[in-house]
Amino acid sequence: MTFTIVFLIAFIASFGLRHWLSQRQIRHVAEHRDAVPAEFAEKVTLAEHQKAADYTIAKLRLAILENGVSAIILIAFTLLGGLEILNIALLQLLGEGITQQIALLASIALISGVIDLPFSWYKQFYLEERFGFNRMGKKLFFTDLLKGVALGTAIGLPLLWVILTLMLKAGDLWWLWAWAVLSVFSLLMQWIFPTFIAPLFNKFQALEDGPLKTQIEALLTRCDFASQGLFVMDGSKRSAHGNAFFAGMGKAKRIVFFDTLIEKLNPGEVEAVLAHELGHFKCKHIRKRLIVSFALSFAMFALLGWISTQVWFYTDLGVMPNLNGYNGGLALALFMLVSPVFSFFLTPLGSLASRKHEYEADGFAAEKSSAKDLISALVKLYQDNASTLTPDPIYTAFYSSHPPAPLRIANLHRFSS
């Protein structure tokens, strides 16, 4: 059996499974649209429940279209020869070498970005606008886009150059050195992002003195959590959705609240939401996720190190490699295009682990703060974010990083009682 056949089987199976799961979710949400679940009947109105159902279905239909376009682009790049045509054109223009290989990868990123742009525009200015969540103007949309491209270029191109140079000069174990470089870079980004990158997109102001700050500081003391500061982020300039998170590592950890979250929740509820986020840190979820991420990237680089030397990997995917020369960028491009088709089937494992962590963080919040306040906060967030209360169980098992609302609230009631 050729790799072409293996790839096609995985491609059809993954695309078909994505579509089937999305259709299941659409049907299940639509079937339960006209009745609020009994456990939420006193807090969620029928209009709010129907808005959540309509919002969920609209997002899924857009995702189905995006998946279809992505599938067409993948086949066009691989089996229909798009990547081969692009590679030959750049070889004729730039000649062989790392510059040409970087140009190949940058071209793929540019093409993908251009194709994705209409979907991002539609989602922001039609879908989010339709349901009352969009607060972003068109000027800010394009400003964010240009900043993202500039940052991606400034950070991505040097990183690509290092990896491609290692592929060329570091011998058979280039992949090990490349993995080490990427791992160190990932750790550095934990510090670089909140300190230098995030302020380019949002304003961060210190949380004002008052009852909320006093309550939060008391929680941090109870949890033995040291932070660099408490900040409020102007998330409202883009969206009505609310959130809280902490970013950074070591002494650089900072706690950030969306201004929309503080507007919608009372101090006790904000404290409970933060206690949940602190639970992820105290239960070592972040450390575990980093370890798993490093282990998976190690395995992927090891696989790339081997498969990039196999001629069939290129030819069976519609590309002719340079048999006597350098194929680093070509190997990376093919691998990044094709590997998600296969890794997609591991999604339920990551989702299961994530839901387990959410339950553990809820338990921590119930212990250090208040289960009752967390329940109240979650219900408000479900309402304000138009999150469906009636997801399909199979869709949830496959995709959802958080437990479905009824199960999560029921679990918290165990602590509150």
pLDDT band for position 195 (cuts 50, 70, 90): confident
Residue 152 resides in a domain: no
Residue 44 resides in a domain: yes
Residue 206 resides in a domain: no
Report the domain count for the chain: 1
pLDDT band for position 417 (cuts 50, 70, 90): low
For 204, the 3-state DSSP assignment is strand
Per-residue pLDDT tens for 92-111? 999 888 999 999 999 999 99
Q: For residue 241, what pLDDT is reported?
A: 81
Residue 403 resides in a domain: yes
Per-residue pLDDT tens for 327-357? 889 999 999 999 999 999 999 999 999 999 9
Q: For residue 7, what pLDDT is reported?
A: 97
Residue 221 resides in a domain: no
DSSP-assigned letters across all residues of 365-387: HHHHS-HHHHHHHHHHHHHHTT-
The question of whether 39 is a catalytic residue gets the answer no
Buried residues in 252-267 as b, exposed as e (16+ CB within 10 A): ebbbbbbbbbbebbeb
* Cα atoms in the Cβ-side hemisphere of radius 13 Å centred on 99: 6
Question: Would you tell me how many other CB atoms lie within 10 Å of the CB of residue 324?
Answer: 5
Q: What residue type is 392 in one-letter code?
A: D
Higher pLDDT, 273 or 249: 273
For 96, the 3-state DSSP assignment is coil
On whether the CB atoms of residues 74 and 337 are closer than 8 A, the answer is yes
- Residue 280 labelled as part of a binding site: yes
Report, as an integer, the average pLDDT of 312-317: 95
Triad 7, 12, 13: Cα angle to 5°: 100
Identify the active-site residue in 84, 269, 271, 362. Answer: 362
Report, as an integer, the average pLDDT of 256-283: 91
pLDDT band for position 250 (cuts 50, 70, 90): low
Q: For residue 394, what pLDDT is reported?
A: 98
Round to whole Å and give the CA distance between 49 and 35: 8
Measured over the CA atoms of residue 92, residue 94, residue 96 and residue 100, the dihedral's sign is negative
Residue 249 resides in a domain: no
- Mean pLDDT in the chain? 93
Determine what percent of the chain is predicted with pLDDT higher than 70: 99
* Domain of residue 294, residue span: 1-134+271-417
pTM, two decimals, is 0.91
On whether the CB atoms of residues 8 and 71 are closer than 8 A, the answer is no
pLDDT band for position 244 (cuts 50, 70, 90): confident
Residue 155 resides in a domain: no
pLDDT band for position 288 (cuts 50, 70, 90): very high
Identify the active-site residue in 39, 234, 259, 277. Answer: 277
DSSP-assigned letters across all residues of 314-329: HHTTT----TTS--HH
The alpha carbon torsion through 200, 229, 253, 365 (nearest 10 deg) reads -120
Report, as an integer, the average pLDDT of 354-381: 94
Q: For residue 251, what pLDDT is reported?
A: 63
The question of whether 34 is a catalytic residue gets the answer no
- Residue 358 labelled as part of a binding site: yes
Q: For residue 367, what pLDDT is reported?
A: 94
Residue 192 resides in a domain: no
